Structure 1
Amino acid sequence: MVEVPGAATHPELYDLLQRLHGIYDAVSNYQPPNVQPPILDSSFEADTGDDTHWSHQDHIPGLKKLKEALKLDLDGLEKFLEDPSSAHRPPLSTNAPYLISVWNELLCAPGPVLSVFKTFLFEPKGDVRMPPSAQRKKTGVRPPGAKVDIVGDGGRVWIRINTMKNSRLLAEFREIDSYLTESEEDSDWDGDERPTLAQTEFDNSILKMGRTLLQAAQSNPIEGTTELPRVVMRLTRLDPLTTEGPEADPRIATTVEKLEEMGIEVQLGEREEEELVVPAPIEDVDTQTLVPSRRINLDLSVLIALISDLTHAPLPASIEEANKRFIPPKEYREWKQTRKRQARKKGSGSDSGGGAEDVDEELSIEDLPHDLATHSRALTNQLLGEMGRSMIQEIRDRISQSAVGGATEFWVTTEARDRCLRIVSKIGAVNEKRRAFALFCLDPSDPTQTIPLAEAEALFWLGSRFDRAIPLFPLHFHSASLLVAPVGVPHTSLLDERGGRHAFFKDLAGTCQHILDQETMPHPNSRPSLQFQFISQPTPFPSQQLNGAPTVAAEGSEVLTSATTPAIDLNPEEEIQRAVVTKANPRLTAHTVESMLWGAELGWTTLTANRTSVRAILKEMRIARAAGKTGGGEKDGRDETGEEGEGGRSGREGGRSAALWIVDPRSLAEQMCSQTVVVPGTDFDRSNSKVPQ
């Protein structure tokens, strides 16, 4: 570091500056010592380094604030020391000792560390001025809060740092003593008792900080439990053992004793140098070789993406063409221009003309109403993503690179199928409806009838940019009867085939089960059999209704596929019911959690286009680990038998099975397309009002 003018006069500040520079660089490069979960990410966000990306789930909130505070102190110190006049001025007061202590505690705190500089709000006791919680939004009054410097051990430990010196606390005591002296001098006050600032019981700012922390802890138990966090106060520069000299006062030791009586753990002094070890990032080699499992579990978002016109229609030749694709058709333009002419006529008293030219005026997304513009912009962004990286091509490349151990199979829950068909029937256009019905071997002209598998596959890929690029047919449906071996055929059930699973699969399954258990409360005396242990709300099948009774697979039972399931009744006039959100997290729907549960329990990769659900389930997994509801993520990826199956080493050469696989979403887009796309050789086009008979 270059010498600065004030370094010779203020060597302690110069040393502090050097130390802050080292900590600032360390904070910039700090990575929590956590193993990345086995999530395969093919989304655009994976390449952009977006801070909201799921892989930043382990990034510690508040670390950026610490870095900014360090930068502020660095700039102040450098400016002071570079000023030649600083040699004749007293040392600069700085917040550096506190920031250094926060960094030291971050390095030494029990992991996982959840946040830095977090404020926990609480309802003050006995404060009549504070409105009830239900009225906070109306009044705009913010409740008080307690600042916690480090939240460690998964939320179980709160660490608060106080850098007050003996001299500062003694100054508080002298001020308190002065109030007491004034009270004694005014003891002859006549009439009503004169107000006084004299203390009625021993107190000071450190004790007040401790009480505030305890109040906040009472109002903020560890997430997912009723357990209260353990409060730790580190007093870095307070020395209660000083018995002689100007900084000695027995009340300092009394302060520490009272903190401990409150239930606060008190730690004195700075951390030792040997404790301050910056953890090296844990490199999980398996995350570099993640591959899809042979059997892939699809959720509803991917079913919609596979059907979407964005995935199959010809791509625009340029970005300009892409920006125009989802401008509403001419009918809407004519309506809009008619409204404009009427407004002009009303304002000027005469028609200004130009109607024919206005109809042909080119519109942009910004010209649309807000809600329509938002939808058009989202579809355009998805189209641009498809131009850069096709979803079908991405899936094909991934499964072909690791196509060892048998043909790829795609599995879904029947609830996902039913919701998919109802959504597409309601808001999809002709080509999207054709693909949806064909995907499940239903006749597009009469969805109550089934069609042969070969015909369904041909209809699905008809007019697509891809020709049977991935082995979607036949789709397989999850069924509890497949979780037990058929009579006379040993070791052929899906549960038997799964072998060992990576610990993440087990934690994911346990978290999903816990979430679904809150939705359906079983009878307290019921003891479900093995195949029902992870099915809180069994997926209903048209051919059978699972009612929770133990099921034994019949001899010769077969896997239920899209080619063998009966048709379902669809009423296009029926209102689509909103998916039920879970009580645990409103960002998770019950059918999404159920789909993840099937994949996690069987050790299969779940393919999803719902990044929000991935972030939400990872959050719930952290909560479950903190509450002791899951195993906490063992690192060896083996089960109790020590074997590895499809959820461990995948059986696909050279990689471990991903638990979750994220792709970019593709929404139903055909209704919004400004073009009329006709599939050659058919009558399927968006200008038709219904599927041809």
Structure 2
Amino acid sequence: MTDTQRQNGLLSLRNQLSEALDSLPLVLLKVPKPPILNLFSPSDDLGEDDNINSVPGLRAFEANLEKEIDALDKYLEKGSATSNVSSNAPYFLSVWNEIQAAASLVSVGQTFPTPKSPPQNNLEKTRHKRKEDTVPVKVDIVSDEGTTWIRVNTIKNSRLRAEFNEIDAYTDSEDEDGDEDDHVPATERPNWRNNSVIRMAASLLAAAQAHPIPGTTRPPVVYLRLTRLRPEPTEPRIAQTIQEVERMGIRLWTGERESIASALNLQEPTSLLQAEPVPTIHINLDLSLLVAIVSDITHAPTPSTPEEAKERYKPLVRRPWKNKSEAPADLNGGAETPPEQNGISIHSRALCNQAEQERQHGLFDEIRRRFQNHYPSSVPIFYSSAEARDRLARIMTKIAGPNERRRAEALFSTDSDAEQRFWQGSRFPSGYVQGLIPIRVHVETDSEILQGPPLSPFLAQLETTCKYILNGIQESASSAEAATDPANLPIKVVAQRVKKQSSTAPSPALTLHTVRSLLLGAQKGMTTLTANRASVKALVREMKQIRFRNVHLAAEGEVGSLEAELETLAVSNEGVREPPVAALWVVEPRSLAENMRSDVDVNSPEAEQALDAAEADADALLDEDGR
């Protein structure tokens, strides 16, 4: 090959790498986002960061493309006078083609720790002197919700022939030089089946068995693409190697995938956008939503301006005396203790923000609109757990106003006047959200819930994660330190206790009752409606960490047909994605605010309760309210 031909070939590789680098942002549009309805905060992606970091390994792949382009640019600038350049460009371009072909990309260049198998012969003992119990096995592409692994290998015929020659030379040397007593047993002698391709295939299969599909006990399907290996008459062992890999159970592809580098560029980006998730007709409500439903902020007339919201929830000021006669002489006449930057002012600012949010996006308006759009002829059914119901009742006795308590009492009531009592005094007419009253309490055998399709991969992973977190809490509760019921402990305390026994601990942002509510919704295949944004973000992060730590809980059985469910995530022939079922529906919180309004009597027992709670710990109050 002349220098000109070589430079033209490298220039072609350089241009293909550059095209791949420019097209990476479009790949992200094909990455399935978690089926989460995220109302009111479109910029706050609860599932993944809306950038290249949303796919583990893609940032490193981008860096490798840039590095290869820089290396080729330097070589092309210097011309033929320099030494030959060793480029990994063909490998990266092959991986790029597989990335584009993947229907739902999970990760790029992920390694899976796999138990180390004992060496089979002296040659392997010489080559692999590892002390670790596990070896990392690289998978170039993980796709289709973890059901598919793809490994790209660019080994050439010449390289495999060199391996065969090395094996032959090793065997011949033993036969010629060694004494008969020193000969390696025939079962340990290297042969052509010890070549690198078959060893790689064996390690991929072992890794797949050790890391089943999340939520199941089945291993992922392993594909191996040999881009440069071709059977040849002079070396039959190459064809035998390919046959052996297929016999092992690997889905083998030979040759380069047809280039689709321009396919993404030819599509309109809007054709890759995913449809918004659709909630189920049965809705699971957690504690934060129960609080939001009865909150004065949700029902009261909305402030017309942000200034009016600030005026409505300006910090209440506690008088340090009960009657004027107890006041100091210089303060007699009703002087007040000035508000500080304490729990009162923090909580008041939060209430102002929530009132402004309600003014822009009413909670009941959004719920009503969503169901009218998707289920115009059906009435939704709302459920909650007995734990959430009971916790709500306890909260009502502490900080709720009289109207909020009345709504909470009517929320689960089956009395004929329950709906009228709930909507009394609201800016909304009675029955504005159909099916809301009464909220039903989950039971283990609820015959009224229709048997739905198998759990989606996301719900299966959500269930696994919730169980994993709760199992850690239960282990902590069984220790001598956890004498107190962990359900009543702050999450920070629980996390510290779990961390003493495990290398992983739940996020302090998680609340245990929220985890239990999400687990219940996942098990019943319902959309969980929650205002606990912080817990959802923490839980999705934990799902991701568990998934890539490959933590697997023993399942009672398979989780339906994952392949059938994945069809809803794939791009159809028309380039439009079917809308997935929403696993989570996240809204902004609404706290109990009736006793914190500026028009309330600051010396009333209710206001005293609210002030005590807010001064003690505003953050704890907001957490208790279900944020």
Do both proteins adopt the same fold according to a TM-score greater than 0.5, normalized to the shorter chain?
yes
Q: In the aligned structure 1, how far is the partner of 2:428 from the partner of 2:298?
A: 12
SS in 1 for 2:17: helix
Residue 408 of structure 1: CA displacement?
Answer: 10
Residues 409 and 471, structure 1, Cα contact 8 Å, conserved in 2: no
Q: In the aligned structure 2, how far is the partner of 1:574 from the partner of 1:677?
A: 38
Match of 2:432 in 1: 471
Q: In the aligned structure 2, how far is the partner of 1:171 from the partner of 1:599?
A: 56
Match runs of 1:588-599 below 5 Å: 589=515, 591-592=517-518, 594-595=520-521
One-letter amino acid of the structure 2 residue matched with residue 393 of structure 1: G
1:14 to 7, 11, 16: 11
Query: Do structure 1's residue 200 and structure 2's residue 167 form an aligned pair?
Result: no
One-letter amino acid of the structure 2 residue matched with residue 395 of structure 1: F
CA offsets 1:177-222 (integer angstroms, 9 cap, x no match):
5655665675379xx96999x9822223223212211221221233
| Distance change (3 Å), C-alpha of 1:432 and 1:177 | farther
Residues 392 and 469, structure 1, Cα contact 8 Å, conserved in 2: no
Match of 1:118 in 2: 110
Query: Do structure 1's residue 98 and structure 2's residue 59 form an aligned pair?
Result: no
Q: In the aligned structure 1, how far is the partner of 2:227 from the partner of 2:524?
A: 51
Residue 70 of structure 1: CA displacement?
Answer: 1.7
Q: In the aligned structure 2, how far is the partner of 1:75 from the partner of 1:469?
A: 67
CA offsets 1:258-294 (integer angstroms, 9 cap, x no match):
4334333433221234898559578599947x89899
One-letter amino acid of the structure 1 residue matched with residue 114 of structure 2: F
Residue 17 of structure 1: CA displacement?
Answer: 0.9
Q: In the aligned structure 1, how far is the partner of 2:296 from the partner of 2:132?
A: 49
2:561 to 610, 619, 628: 628
TM-score, scaled to structure 1: 0.55
Q: In the aligned structure 2, how far is the partner of 1:494 from the partner of 1:625?
A: 24
Match of 1:301 in 2: 288
Query: Do structure 1's residue 271 and structure 2's residue 257 form an aligned pair?
Result: yes
Q: In the aligned structure 1, how far is the partner of 2:453 from the partner of 2:196?
A: 47
Residues 424 and 432, structure 1, Cα contact 8 Å, conserved in 2: no
1:422 to 383, 391, 407: 391
| Distance change (3 Å), C-alpha of 1:93 and 1:467 | same
Residues 38 and 587, structure 2, Cα contact 8 Å, conserved in 1: no
One-letter amino acid of the structure 2 residue matched with residue 228 of structure 1: P
SS in 2 for 1:225: coil
Match of 1:221 in 2: 212
SS in 1 for 2:87: coil
Match of 1:24 in 2: 21
| Distance change (3 Å), C-alpha of 1:260 and 1:395 | same
1:72 to 56, 67, 70: 67
Q: In the aligned structure 2, how far is the partner of 1:164 from the partner of 1:470?
A: 69
Residues 307 and 432, structure 1, Cα contact 8 Å, conserved in 2: no
Residue 397 of structure 1: CA displacement?
Answer: 5.7
Q: In the aligned structure 2, how far is the partner of 1:255 from the partner of 1:610?
A: 55
Q: In the aligned structure 2, how far is the partner of 1:325 from the partner of 1:121?
A: 56
Aligned length: 511
Q: In the aligned structure 1, how far is the partner of 2:390 from the partner of 2:237?
A: 74
| Distance change (3 Å), C-alpha of 1:26 and 1:626 | farther
Residues 311 and 392, structure 1, Cα contact 8 Å, conserved in 2: no
Bigger CA radius of gyration: 1
SS in 2 for 1:256: helix
| Distance change (3 Å), C-alpha of 1:155 and 1:308 | same
| Distance change (3 Å), C-alpha of 1:67 and 1:468 | farther
Q: In the aligned structure 2, how far is the partner of 1:256 from the partner of 1:153?
A: 25
Q: In the aligned structure 2, how far is the partner of 1:510 from the partner of 1:150?
A: 18
Q: In the aligned structure 2, how far is the partner of 1:193 from the partner of 1:143?
A: 31
Q: In the aligned structure 2, how far is the partner of 1:16 from the partner of 1:158?
A: 26
Q: In the aligned structure 1, how far is the partner of 2:486 from the partner of 2:147?
A: 46
Q: In the aligned structure 2, how far is the partner of 1:18 from the partner of 1:204?
A: 34
Query: Do structure 1's residue 662 and structure 2's residue 582 form an aligned pair?
Result: no
Residue 442 of structure 1: CA displacement?
Answer: 8.8
Match of 2:81 in 1: 88
Higher helix fraction (1 or 2): 2
Calculate percent identity across the aligned residue pairs: 26
Match of 2:48 in 1: 52
CA RMSD of aligned residues (A): 6.4
SS in 1 for 2:137: strand
Residue 661 of structure 1: CA displacement?
Answer: 7.2
Q: In the aligned structure 2, how far is the partner of 1:214 from the partner of 1:258?
A: 13
Query: Do structure 1's residue 240 and structure 2's residue 269 form an aligned pair?
Result: no
SS in 1 for 2:215: coil
Match runs of 1:610-649 below 5 Å: 610=532, 627-628=560-561, 631-632=564-565
Residue 97 of structure 1: CA displacement?
Answer: 0.6
SS in 1 for 2:607: coil
Q: In the aligned structure 2, how far is the partner of 1:422 from the partner of 1:438?
A: 15
Query: Do structure 1's residue 438 and structure 2's residue 407 form an aligned pair?
Result: yes
Q: In the aligned structure 1, how far is the partner of 2:241 from the partner of 2:317?
A: 71
